[in-house]
Structure 1
Amino acid sequence: MKIKSLILLSFKIILIFLIGYTISHFLREWINEVCHSLGVANEVRIILSRFSVIAYIVPFLMINVRSIFSAEVLRVGNFRASISFPLIWRGKEDPVWRFLGIFAVVMVIGTSYFIYSYASGLNYNEFRLLLYYGLIFSLVNSILEEWVWRGVALSQYIKWSGSVYGLIVTSLLFGMSHYDLGFSIWVCIAFSIGGFFMGGVAIRSKGIIASILMHIYMNIIFSMTGMIFS
């Protein structure tokens, strides 16, 4: 891709992101205000507020309505397809299902101290509610974010610029979208790295189910460390 075309495309993608970011911000604020006025439990409010991520598809609706519900966006994918670590196309090659298993083990080992530190301070009922709300949040948030970011956005950006650039840009914007949720820039960068691998899984498996499962697992872990509801 020529430099001029790349610059123009980058401006287009950034504009799309900013429109979605702005709409998502005000939609989330509105949901929060309604929940506060109705006395909705904080955990339920947080779960409901995640529906604001749907706002990121508004610019894509203006471009092509069919793009958000196409078979390409919603396809299941192949868990036996290969993916390479750490650069998706280059590195140690494994089938997607094994990559997800290794990822799950590494995640739980890497966060076990934080999980124990947070969960050990809860009584039985508090821990049970954490599991309950954590699972619901993980299902809702993961399905919505994967549909928006790895389904709609990634598919569209790949059509415009190819797999590598589309993956990198989508991952960065996915991470930065969490800044509006109150996370620090460093946490957003960490989420971008996670988005890179979820996007890679979606590309290599040619579907979003594997990345949804990966996202659900990550969200459950984050809930158990107190990152979501504390």
Structure 2
Amino acid sequence: MKTAYVNKSLPFLQLSVFTAGVLLFQLKLFALAFILSFGLIIFLLLLSKQERVFSWTIAGYLTGSLLFLYGDKLLDALPLPYYILMILNRFLLVIPILLLVYISIKFNKSAIPYLRKPDWNSLIFFPFIWSGFHSIKIKYFLIIAVIINFASFAYSIFSAEHSFSLDFLLFLIGFSIVNGIMEELLWRGIILSRMAELSGEKAAVLFSGLAFGFSHMILGYSFILCLLFAVGGIFYAAVTVKSRSIFPAFIWHIAMNVFMILSGLIPFRDS
């Protein structure tokens, strides 16, 4: 009975370690984050026969994130406009993505199983995604969600001053697309998939959303704002698992980036 309880608790232990590791990393407590990660790997090696792909996913994410930070330091030395460096910074997310793809392949897992045509007619429920008093098809939910997001940014968008120069438009389009695609491949493409295999979709949606929100702290956003990003991450994950596809999250995330740039929440700087 005790062994069964331990085995049942291990998936949630791993999800908690991942979320804590992301938070520690964002607080720049890198050593503690890695000690926690590799401590989990050793624990599973010694005390459990459970599959260890997710514990290695944690280590791969932290290692990829550290290499990402190193690559960002190298970018700072390039004589390029600041907005171009911001776009290139988002391209560097390919480092943790490739590491996690490699780990997935080594464990004979499909790296990004949600990279497929969405089921637009799948239902999402309110208020609990899988259950509630109202349901709506994903295609309509996505339209309504984008409209609500635009409305929430509308005042800031229309009160902000933009020159709409070529540089600004390049940043608006380039950053929105690159950041949206890269973050979704990492978080809803790979991490959500590994979490769902470990503990089921409901826990995966919650923990991946929380970790996604915390992952923005190192960019200078406040803890409260990161919690709002976590709520967004939960809904990105929800539309992904309900539609069985990452493409609705691509669309939604790119639209959100556009609104954030137009509102000034993601500032444009050309020097």
The reply to whether TM is greater than 0.5 is yes
Contact 1:25 1:180 in 2 (8 A): no
Letter in 1 for 2:208: T
> If the length of structure 2 is used for normalisation, what is the TM-score?
0.74
- 1:177 aligned partner: 215
Letter in 1 for 2:88: L
**Residue 5 (structure 1) shift:** 2.2
- 1:10 aligned partner: 15
Q: After the TM superposition, which segments of 4 or more aligned residues of structure 1 sit over 6 Å from their partners?
A: none
Contact 1:17 1:173 in 2 (8 A): no
Q: Distance in 1 between matches of 2:175 and 2:87?
A: 5
> If the length of structure 1 is used for normalisation, what is the TM-score?
0.86
- 1:39 aligned partner: 79
Contact 1:83 1:94 in 2 (8 A): yes
Structure 1 stretch displaced more, 152-161 or 53-62? 53-62
The two structures, once aligned, show a CA RMSD in angstroms of 2.4
Unaligned runs of 5+ in 1: none
- 1:163 aligned partner: 201
Determine whether 1:203 maps to 2:235. no
- 2:91 aligned partner: 51
- 1:229 aligned partner: 267
Contact 1:67 1:73 in 2 (8 A): no
- 1:28 aligned partner: 69
Unaligned runs of 5+ in 2: 20-36, 38-56
Letter in 1 for 2:156: F
**Residue 89 (structure 1) shift:** 0.9
Cα distance, 1:189–1:107 mapped onto 2, change above 3 Å: same
> Which one has the largest radius of gyration?
2
Structure 1 residues 48-68: Cα deviation after superposition (integer angstroms, max 9, x where no partner): 101233344435633544546
**Residue 140 (structure 1) shift:** 0.6
Structure 1 stretch displaced more, 15-24 or 40-49? 15-24
Structure 1 residues 92-151: Cα deviation after superposition (integer angstroms, max 9, x where no partner): 211111001111111111111111222xx23353xx533331111111111111111111
Q: Distance in 1 between matches of 2:167 and 2:123?
A: 38
Count of matched residue positions in the alignment of Structure 1 and Structure 2 = 224
- 1:146 aligned partner: 184
Structure 1 residues 163-183: Cα deviation after superposition (integer angstroms, max 9, x where no partner): 111111100111111111111
Determine whether 1:104 maps to 2:165. no
Q: Distance in 2 between matches of 1:109 and 1:7?
A: 37
Cα distance, 1:124–1:55 mapped onto 2, change above 3 Å: closer
Aligned counterpart in structure 1 of residue 167 of structure 2, from 129, 132, 135: 129
Letter in 1 for 2:147: V
Cα distance, 1:99–1:41 mapped onto 2, change above 3 Å: same
Letter in 1 for 2:127: P
Structure 1 stretch displaced more, 14-23 or 86-95? 14-23
Report SS of the residue matched to 1:37: coil
Structure 1 residues 14-45: Cα deviation after superposition (integer angstroms, max 9, x where no partner): 435475245424423433x3333221111110
Structure 1 stretch displaced more, 47-56 or 216-225? 47-56
